[in-house]
Amino acid sequence: MTLGFTTNFPDGRPTLFEQKILWPYEKQIQVKYPDLLPKIHTFRLGNRWKAGMKMHMVTGNRTPQRRQFNLDYPELDRCTGTQECIIRTVNIPMQAFSIEVDGRLLENDLIFLVNDGFDGPDRFFEWFGHPFKSTEHVGQVVHWTNFKY
């Protein structure tokens, strides 16, 4: 099943999601981005993913520029598991968020942020937050490594 990744944040800056996913497996990326932290999972709305499903990691999904970037990496071929996840954000009176995985509130949200490919709370909040309202995102963490929360 297709697992699409965007290449830019809403402000146009690059996400580097592809590089963060490939970083552990690709020496050239490690040299070019020595301080990059690997993206080891992704959050998706809904409940479509199951362990063992074939993963087609792509950028440019549903465009002529569609490109699958995990073809040469058998380690990234299959979903290793999923976990139920709820991300709650609120903007009033200040930006805040909480992350619940498999019914447990995470004590260290920063680990989740980094593992999901975000450089910090501001980028994460930009992605999942909406100005002047509370938001709840219900879905799942899709894993391609053996890491679990």
- pLDDT tens figures, 15-49: 999 999 999 999 999 999 999 999 999 999 999 99
Give the pLDDT band of residue 105 (cuts 50, 70, 90): very high
The two counts, helices (H) then strands (E), for the chain are 4, 8
Angstrom distance (rounded) from CA 31 to CA 49: 33
Percent of the chain with pLDDT over 90: 81
Angstrom distance (rounded) from CA 74 to CA 120: 29
For the chain, give the mean pLDDT: 93
pLDDT at 127: 86
What's the average model confidence in pLDDT over 128-137? 74
pTM of the model: 0.93
pLDDT at 16: 98
pLDDT at 130: 66
Is the pLDDT at 84 greater than 90, yes or no? yes
Residues facing residue 139 across a β-bridge: 45, 85
Percent of the chain with pLDDT over 70: 97
For residue 126, with 0-12 CB atoms within 10 Å meaning exposed, 13-18 middle and 19 or more buried, which class applies?
A: middle
